[in-house]
């Protein structure tokens, strides 16, 4: 029997914002119940967030020089 360590952290969102039909054409993202609903761009779960850091790992504002 093997034991496996599980990593439990939220998975970041992919950031996709476009939806596609079966031919690969860009379409407006559909609503629930419409064809092609459920693509990644329909959801914004755990959006990515970045913090600018200095060389010591301290947070900087977006306007600070790095």
Neighbours of 27 (CB within 10 A): 15
Transcribe 4-63 into DSSP letters: -PPP--PPPP-----EE-TT--EEPPPPTTSTTTT-GGG---S------B-TTS-B--TT
Instruction: Read off the pTM.
Output: 0.55
Task: Write the pLDDT tens digit of every residue in 13-66.
Answer: 888 999 999 999 999 999 999 999 999 999 988 877 788 988 899 999 888 876
**Contact criterion met (CB below 8 Å) for 31 and 64:** no
Question: What residues form DSSP beta bridges with 64?
Answer: none
Tell which wins on pLDDT, 5 or 55.
55
Tokens of 30: 């559909």
């Amino acid at each position: 029997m093997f034991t496996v360590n599980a990593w439990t952290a939220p998975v970041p969102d992919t950031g996709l914002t476009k939806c596609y039909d079966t031919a690969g054409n860009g379409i407006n993202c559909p609503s629930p119940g419409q064809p092609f609903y459920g693509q990644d761009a329909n959801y914004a779960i755990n959006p990515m967030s970045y913090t600018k850091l200095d060389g010591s790992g301290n947070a900087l504002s977006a306007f600070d020089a790095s």
